[in-house]
Structure formats: C-alpha cells, structure tokens
Amino acid sequence: MSGARIGSPAPAIPRYGRRDALRRLGLMGLTGACAAGYGTLAVRALDRSNMLKANTSGALAPPVTHQLGWLKGVQFAGEFLAQELGYLEAEGVTAEFAAGGPGTDYRTLVASGRMLVSESTPLAMIEAAVQGQPLVAFAAVMQRDPGAYMSLPGKPITSLHDMVGKTIGVPASVRKLTCVLLQRAGIPFESVNFVPVGTDAGALAAGQIDGYYSHATTAVPGLRALGVEPKVLYMTDLGVPGYAQAFIVRRDTLDKHHDLLVGYTRALIKGWRYFVENPASSAELIVEKWAQKGTSLQDQLAQAAMMRSFILDGDALTHGLLWIDPGRFEHALAFAREAGSVPAGMEIDVGRLVTQSVIREALASQA
C-alpha cells in the first residue's frame, strides 16, 4: 500500500468542560493534518486478498458491509475518512459503503444478514424489538438528535402550543410521537393539521405549509440556500430522547465478530475525530471523491459546520466520540410505551438492544 498516513491515533476525550475539551481535541495529533488539507489525502485501494481476516476467536471476519442511512455525503464523513486516511487498513478491516434513500429498509437489511452494519435511533430500536428483529446498537455518531420542526420566521413554531391551527409536514412515525407530546401538554392533537412530507423543504419555503420536520443538519442549509432563515424546534428540547446514526448489527454478529466491530469502531472514531478538526476540508474531499455527481459543495460545507455541535456534545466530551448510553434507550422505551408503540404486557430488555462493550474497548485502546 502506498500513500502517506495523515495524523496519528489520538486518545479518547478526557473529562473536561466543553471549551477546554474542544481546545484539547485540537492537540490530539491532528494539527499536522489541519495544515495538510484534503489535497494530500491518498485514495487507498485495499487489497481484495485482505477481505477476510482472523479474529482472536479464530473465526473468519467478513468485510464490513455498511448500509448508510442516506445518500453519500458529509453526513457519513467519519466512515469515508476512516478509509481515505488508512485507519481501516491499519485495523485490517475492509469496508464497503452502500448509499441509502427514502425506500431503504435499513433495519431489515441488517436483520436479514444482507448487510453487516447500518444506522438507527433508540426509538427505532424499540420498534425493531417489537417486530422481533435481533438487532443491537453499539456506538452513536450524533450525541444529540438533530430531528426538528422548522418554521418560517414570520410564523414561528417555538413550542407545542405554537402548532395549534397550523399545517405541519411530518412523517407518520414522528407524528405519533408528537401527538404524545401534545397530549402531555393538554393540547388536542386534532388542533394540528399534520400532513405527509417528503425530503424537500421547498414546501415550507414556499409557504405551502407552516412547519416541516427533518434533520436540521440537512434541512437548515437547504432552506438557507432558498433565502429562508428558519426557526428550529428540536425534538430533544421537547423531551424526546435520542441519538442520530447509532450503529447497529445483529446480536449474533456482535457475538461472533466482536473484535472486528471494535477495530471498525476504533477506525471510525479516528475518522470522525479528523472530521471535527477539519470540517471544511473533509467536506471538499467527500464532494470530490464520494458524493454523487452534482452535489453542492456549499451545501456540504454548511452541513459539516452544523454537524460538529451534534457530534461534540454531552458524553462525547466526557467519555469520547461515538459513546452510547443505555439510559437513552431506557428513556426511549418509556416514551414508546406511552405512545402505544409497545403492546401492553410486552417485555423488552434494553440490555439486548444496546451494548457498551464495543465502544468501551475501542476508546480504551485509543490511548
């Protein structure tokens, strides 16, 4: 293999305050990479003969087939950078990344064994348990869920009470959750006109609807490009727990290929660490090498700038990047029961939906 390796393995983020943690993050062996820029990153074609490697149990580990949660772009920067910078190669891991889309059934692809890894959320993992899918989450990129209601500045939605009498575009699953929140607040859900919504925020910009639900990290840059500075009301601020981009596998895969997942996660931590230090150059690289033709660099730069605060939040500043907390899943389970998403009397063991074994080992071996 040829190509210069950029940066060196960095330790997990220790327990500091936000300002100090962010400052120290820049001193973790990546300052040289900042100066180098994306132009020096070598594209590494991994040898197909290394597609299988032995783990400590003696079982052959497969390549990591990773079903992405959406189209290839800066949203998955850490995965792409882990490959571009040779972090996956250093772990002896080969990864293949498949783009997703609105019709992709991510959980079923993993549950069926067609893909090794994909992404989900705590609430979606509760739904998976109800459906009998044998899945477990082992790390999470965004420590704060960017799911939010966006509205126009002239008719802002800054609270649940502001939704009354308005037309709001929202997916069916989120509408159900929002109805629970309205009920908690003593607001009749019939007082809000919820309508189906796609992935284009243009209807909000055109004034055809009063509110629009999506990930703020993708929708806000798009609305700004249309000349709209939206008001944003995050679901986390309304009391809905969550992570975004929580990595999931089958439980039997976790048992059989634990070492592979630790190595993969260790490489992704380094990739995401590079991203939060170099969001602009990372976005430029991804548009050039990974995103579909015609992807707007300005849009990707704007998304990258927004994403940092969702990745560098809470537990990521105290435990390390990609941390995952079973407590979030306990909270999600309680919320799902209140929403009626879990059948009465059905027992769900959160300990089978999420594990810290992979992220703990990956972060511990970063030092």
Q: What does the pLDDT look like over 63-112, one tens digit per residue?
A: 999 999 999 999 999 999 999 999 999 999 999 999 998 889 999 999 99
**Residues 264/93, Cβ–Cβ less than 8 Å:** yes
Burial of 223 (0-12, 13-18, 19+ CB in 10 A): buried
| Dihedral sign computed on CA atoms, order 181, 100, 248, 232 | negative
Q: Which of 114, 124, 118, 74 is nearest to 97 (CA)?
A: 118
Q: What does the pLDDT look like over 309-349, one tens digit per residue?
A: 999 999 999 999 999 999 999 999 998 998 889 999 999 99
Residue 367 pLDDT: 56
Residue 5 pLDDT: 32
Give 345 or 11, the one with higher predicted confidence. Answer: 345
- What are the strands, taking DSSP E only, across the chain? 53-54, 60-61, 64-67, 95-98, 118-120, 135-142, 147-151, 167-169, 193-195, 211-215, 231-234, 244-250
**Residues 120/128, Cβ–Cβ less than 8 Å:** yes
The tokens 């090794």 sit on which residue? 116
Residue 35 pLDDT: 35
Q: Which of 121, 177, 166 is nearest to 146 (CA)?
A: 121
**β-pair partners for 151:** 211, 231
Cα-to-chain-centroid distance, residue 156: 27
Average pLDDT, the chain: 86
Ramachandran bin of 58, using left for φ above 0, alpha for ψ from -120 to 50, beta for the remaining angles: left
